[in-house]
Structure 1
């Protein structure tokens, strides 16, 4: 029974984080529904947003398999920042923006690879052949995936550094649960706004390239701001604790 009580706070914190993400996601969906970014009708012959066309091929078992693939990619993307924070807490070393970004990049790239491995088994040979004929060569696709993974790496790197900042503030006497819940709400709201804007621009019949690039640039800029701001917060409690420790040693 004592072990249950000891585990209660961490688990309730986890549940709270999940609920916050669910509510923020629901708000984002409501915004997209109100602005017409989401399609609720059947696929028609023409005038269909590009993402609706892509998703229309996922029917029956293929759709279920894609859910598994997407879930695997999301689990890995979530585990990366958690692992980075765990290593920061365990080893006590400094949390560096560069390492957070690089491991975020690597995590995103591996998530994409896992996604492609599963997805390659849910498309028929005819579908693969049809898509291959409309896509650029393999080197271009590989480069595009690496660049896209780097884009996602800024987000995962920022998430990793936010986790480290929460841990650092917990060492300074703040509640870790409260820090994680507050960070989830604040950062989640920012990510939701950026995701809604990017998705709405991408999911259109005729994509406005300039607007889409502007949203991607905004995504990267905000991710980098959060990354370096969280890194500074992660160092601040440690820097503040150093004089106190030196004073106690001298006494």
Structure 2
């Protein structure tokens, strides 16, 4: 029996676009292998997105006793929604990730008609990375939750969608948030994400780091005569993917700052996925 959160009526919403996909038998067998879903019984597969290209799910209903988040993003210029502790920690961390070029929370729903019944899962996140990879991402508190019947079904549907879209399927669990030091640093840096930085200072910082890494004290000195103002501006530039600051050690004047990774010569987009 599939748990209720994986069931779907197959009805469409006016704000959604539906794309039917036709996976090959090999793809169906590969993604359903080891799961309670018989690949031969998958009749139809659909990918459902928001018509405006944004988040599919933007209302957190509070129907489950879990934390929720509506995170205003400086990098992506939108409100990003999520629920449960793992997503609540992941969204601010992704705001600072130097490898992430494009990201979207709750980007799509994957539906499959199996034995006359629609199964579905809303993907937690999608991302495009500097190396040109694109991924669908599922978040759980720990690995064991991927092994429940519901978790296995979600995995099959997510893998199926990723395979058909030419994307990776990634899993993210709470331990990926990192050490307490890293989480503290993420919280401190992302809090400055909306600090204004004049374009001339952005250019000056990029020029400085093009020659190699520098300390936070040095970068802050380029951004302002006041260390604390310069520090806040440096943090804002990390949110905008201009610089990368070492978050693994306690933040201080000696923290290492460097340029963000160069992007691949071919970059996919989530809109085209």
Q: TM-score, normalised by structure 2?
A: 0.26
RCO higher in structure (CA 8 A, sep ≥6): 1
Q: TM-score, normalised by structure 1?
A: 0.27
Q: When you count helix as a share of all residues, which structure comes out higher?
A: 1
